[in-house]
Amino acid sequence: MNTFVFTAYLLSQPKLTKIKHQNFCYLLVSLNNFMDNIANIKIKVFTKGKIARQVFDLYKEKNNVIIESSIYIKKTRFLNKNQKKSKIIFVKIHKIQNIYLNL
């Protein structure tokens, strides 16, 4: 398992869904990038179980957070003439903490 710790800015309100008595939470985040010539990266992250409920209850759009997660890469094939392959990156949240900024 790959551990991935990063600071992020929440771009969307967390969305909670329940499938077979299991909570899932999805949201869109922007990875903060401190290099001048590269734009911030937008990714979709998800979590499940008790952490999904915590994310949905405690965090709002425009929060800055620190996320400890793992990365999964899933390869898919499109069923068309070209038989193209693509990779989808999933980030699963394990722990999340709010960053409080005093301005």
CA distance 82 to 76: 13
Domain boundaries, the chain: 3-98
Could you tell me which residues are beta bridge partners of residue 4? 69
Q: 3-98 in CATH: which number?
A: 2.40.50.140
CA distance 69 to 53: 16
Q: 24: helix, coil or strand?
A: strand
- Tens digit of pLDDT at every position of the chain (103 positions): 688 898 888 999 999 999 999 999 999 998 877 776 777 788 889 999 999 999 999 998 888 999 999 988 878 776 666 667 777 778 899 999 988 765 5
Q: Strands 41-48 and 85-98: what pairing?
A: parallel
Q: Which residues contact 42 (CB under 8 A, 6 or more apart)?
A: 11, 28, 29, 30, 31
Residue 102 CB neighbour total at 10 angstroms: 3
